[in-house]
């Protein structure tokens, strides 16, 4: 864990997420610190995001397939394990 000073006014307790090879793949910011940061910098998360139609179609197809066959598929942890084995 590391404390990161942003503009010398907001300190954040960042936690780095690493993969099995030790490479940083993400950063965890506690929600209260993220909310403080958003307020200070006037960040609005409700901003419209344009998702391509083809992407929404794919998501909707997969969701319908899951609803029709809920027992088929991989658990997310198993899927991640399989992916990491191939890296």
pLDDT digit string (tens) for the chain, length 87 residues = 444 444 445 577 889 999 999 999 999 999 998 888 888 888 777 766 788 999 999 999 989 998 998 887 777 888 888 888 888
- Please tell me the pTM assigned to this model: 0.40
Cα 6 to Cα 21, 45, 61, 71: the distances in Å are: 28, 20, 42, 46
Name every residue whose Cβ is closer than 8 Å to that of residue 40 and which is 6 or more positions away in sequence: 9, 10
Instruction: State how many domains the chain has.
Output: 1
DSSP 79: H
pLDDT of 25-42, one tens digit each? 999 999 998 888 888 888
Per the structure, the complete domain to which residue 15 belongs is given by 2-86
Residue 73 DSSP class: S
């Amino acid at each position: 864990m590391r404390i990161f000073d942003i503009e010398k006014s907001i300190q954040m307790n960042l936690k780095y997420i690493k993969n099995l090879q030790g490479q940083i793949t993400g950063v965890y910011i506690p929600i209260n610190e993220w909310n403080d940061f958003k307020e200070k910098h006037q960040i609005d998360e409700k901003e419209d995001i344009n998702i391509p139609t083809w992407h929404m179609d794919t998501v909707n197809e997969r969701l319908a397939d899951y609803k029709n066959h809920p027992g088929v598929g991989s658990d997310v942890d198993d899927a991640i394990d399989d992916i990491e084995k191939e890296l």
